[in-house]
Amino acid sequence: MIGKPISRVDGPEKVTGQAKYAAEFNVPDLTYGVVVSSTITKGTITRIDTSKALALDGVLEVFTHKNRPKTAWFDMSYKDQDSPPGSPFRPLHNDQVKYNGQPIALVVAETFEVARYAATLVEIDYDPEPCETDLLKHLHEARDPKSGVANLFKPLPPKPRGDSAAAYANAPVSMSARYIHGMQHHNPMEMFATTVEYGRNGHLTIYDKTQGATNSQLYVTQAFNLSFDQVRVISPYVGGGFGSGLRPQYQLFLAVMAARALERSVRVSLTRQQMWSFGHRPATVQNIRLAANADGTLAAVEHEAIAETSQFEDYTETVVNWTGKLYDCANSTLSYKVKSLDMYSPLDMRAPGGVTGVHAIECAIDELAYNAGIDPLDFRFKNYSEKDWTEKDKPFSSKELRACFTQGAERFGWSNRTPEPRSMRRGHTLIGWGMATGIWDANQVPARAEAVLTVNGKLRVSSATADIGTGTYTIMTQIAAELLGMPLENVIFRLGDTDMPLAPIQGGSWTAATVGSAVKVTCEALAKKLFKLARKMPGSPLASADFTDVFFANSHIRLRRDPSVAVPLQAIVDQNGGRAISETGTSLPNMLKQKDYSRSAHAAAFVEVEVDEDFGTVVVTRAVSAVAAGRILNPKTARSQIIGGMVWGISSALQEESVMDHRYGRYMNQNLAEYHIPVCADVRDLDVIFVEEVDDIVNPLGVKGVGEVGLVAMPAAIANAVFHATGKRIHDLPIQLDRLL
Ligand code: MOS
Ligand 1 atom 4, closest CA: 243
The catalytic position among 132, 610, 693, 708 is 708
Q: Which ligand 1 atom sits nearest the alpha carbon of residue 351?
A: 2
Task: Please tell me the predicted confidence (pLDDT) of residue 558.
Answer: 97
Whether 352 is in the pocket of ligand 1, judged by its Cβ within 6 Å, is: yes
C-alpha to C-alpha distance for 189 and 596, rounded to whole angstroms: 41
Q: Which pLDDT score, from 0 to 100, does residue 11 have? A: 96
Centroid of chain to Cα 102? 24
Q: Is the pLDDT of residue 344 over 90?
A: yes
pLDDT band at 70 (very low <50, low <70, confident <90, very high): confident
- Among 209, 280, 318, 348, residue to substitute to test ligand 1 (most atoms within 8 Å of Cβ): 348
Would you say the CB of residue 246 lies under 6 angstroms from ligand 1?
yes
**CA end-to-end span of the chain:** 52
| Residue 77: per-residue pLDDT | 72
Nearest CA to 525 out of 471, 457, 576, 461 is that of 461
**CB count in 10 Å sphere of residue 140:** 7
Could you tell me if the CB of 241 is within 6 A of ligand 1? yes
Higher-scoring residue by pLDDT: 41, 741 = 41
Helix (H) or strand (E) holding 618: strand 618-628
Distance of CA 463 from the midpoint of ligand 1 (Å): 19
Rounded distance between C-alpha atoms, residue 219 and residue 387, angstroms: 39
pLDDT digits (tens, 9 = 90+) for 173-231: 999 999 999 999 999 999 999 999 999 999 999 999 999 999 999 999 999 999 999 99
Over range 508-516, report the average pLDDT: 98
> What is the edge-to-edge ordering of all strands in the sheet holding 96-97?
96-97, 43-49, 123-128
* Cα 242 to ligand 1 centre (Å): 5
Domains of the chain and any CATH numbers:
20-130+194-264 (3.90.1170.50), 132-185+279-389 (3.30.365.10), 396-441+597-741 (3.30.365.10), 447-588 (3.30.365.10)
Confidence band (pLDDT; 50, 70, 90) for 148? confident
708 catalytic? Reply is: yes
Taking the centre of ligand 1 as the mean of its atom positions, its distance from the CA of residue 739, in whole angstroms, is 30
Closest by CA position to 493, among listed 654, 695, 633: 633
Q: Which residues pair with 624 in a beta bridge?
A: 606, 687
Q: In what order do the strands lie in the sheet with 424-426?
A: 424-426, 429-441, 600-612, 618-628, 685-690
Identity at 681, one-letter amino acid code? A
CB of 243 sitting under 6 A from ligand 1 = yes
**What contacts 487, CB < 8 A, 6 or more positions away?**
481, 554, 555
Band the pLDDT of 523: cuts 50, 70, 90: very high
The span from the CA of 151 to the CA of 135, in Å, is: 22
Ligand 1 pocket test, candidate residues 190, 317, 708, 712, most atoms within 8 A of CB: 708
Q: Is the pLDDT of residue 78 over 80?
A: no
Quick one: average pLDDT of 331-352? 98
Q: Which of 81, 281, 350, 444 to mutate to test the pocket of ligand 1 (most atoms within 8 A of CB)?
A: 350
Ligand 1 contact via 349 beta carbon (within 6 Å): yes
Give distance in angstroms: CA of 555 to centre of ligand 1.
37
Atom index in ligand 1 nearest the CA of residue 352 equals 2
Taking only the tens place, the pLDDT of each residue in 215-254 is 999 999 999 999 999 999 999 999 999 999 999 999 999 9
* Spatial distance between the Cα atoms of 481 and 458, rounded to a whole number of angstroms: 10
For ligand 1, the distance from its centroid to the CA atom of residue 154, given in whole angstroms, is 12
Atom number, ligand 1, closest to the C-alpha of residue 242: 4
Angle between helix 511-536 and helix 472-483 axes, rounded to 10 deg: 30
Whole-number Å distance, alpha carbon 511 to ligand 1 midpoint, is 11
pTM of the model: 0.97
**Can you tell me whether residue 209 is helix, strand or coil?**
coil
User: How far lies 109's CA from each of 30, 53, 71, 264, 308, in Å?
Assistant: 9, 10, 21, 11, 38
Cα separation of 181 and 281, whole Å? 9
Q: Are 234 and 269 in contact (CB under 8 A)?
A: no
pLDDT at 71 over 80: no
Q: What is the mean pLDDT of the chain?
A: 97
Could you tell me the distance, in angstroms and rounded to a whole number, from the CA of residue 705 to the centre of ligand 1?
A: 12
Work out which ligand 1 atom sits closest to the CA atom of 509.
3
**pLDDT of 75 higher than 70:** no
Helix (H, G, I), strand (E, B) or coil at 579: coil
pLDDT at 79: 83
Q: How far apart are CA 279 and CA 292, in angstroms?
A: 39
| Pocket of ligand 1 contains residue 508 by CB under 6 Å | yes
pLDDT at 76: 62
In the structure, what pLDDT confidence band is assigned to residue 736 with cuts at 50, 70 and 90? very high
pLDDT at 91 over 70: yes
What is the 101 CA–ligand 1 centroid distance (Å)? 23
- Sequence-ordered list of residues with C-beta below 8 angstroms from that of 392, at least 6 positions apart, any chain: none
Atom of ligand 1 nearest to the CA of 708: 1
ipTM of model: 0.96
Ligand 1 atom, smallest distance to 348 CA: 2
